Each structure stands twice: as structure tokens, then as C-alpha cells.
Amino acid sequence: MARESLTRLTGKAGDPECKSNDCPNVYRTARGSFVVQGDVSTAFDAPDGEGLVEIPEETLREAVRALGW
């Protein structure tokens, strides 16, 4: 799945904290599911085929606001 096919819910274009799209973000897929970008977490071992990322609370709040929830 290409990033261009996702709807970005968080982060502002040109934000100095977000160089080259490398900051925590939440995206929505065409199927209505979500893709989360964040720092890799080692809080516990995820099951095979899954991964853990850590995002700031504000990023999740921003995504909820973008969806109007």
C-alpha cells in the first residue's frame, strides 16, 4: 500500500517537527482501517506479523478531531 493512497489525519504540511514525513501520524485507508506511524516500541513482543509503535497522545487526539468523533 503506497502512502499516497492513504488519507493523512494528523500532522501539518511544512511543520518543522515533521521533516520528510518522519513524525508520528495516523492515516486512514480506503477500507476504513488505520495505519499508525510512530517510534518502534519494545514494550513487549508482538505476535508474528504485527508490530508495535508508540505515538504521542496529541497525535491520537488530532486524528479523532479530524474524523469528527
Q: Which pLDDT tens digit goes with each residue over 33-67?
A: 999 999 999 999 999 999 999 999 999 999 999 99
pLDDT of residue 4: 83
pLDDT of residue 13: 64
Give the start-to-end residue ranges of the domains of the chain: 3-67
16, three cell numbers: 518543522
Cα angle: 13, vertex 18, 6; to 5 degrees: 60
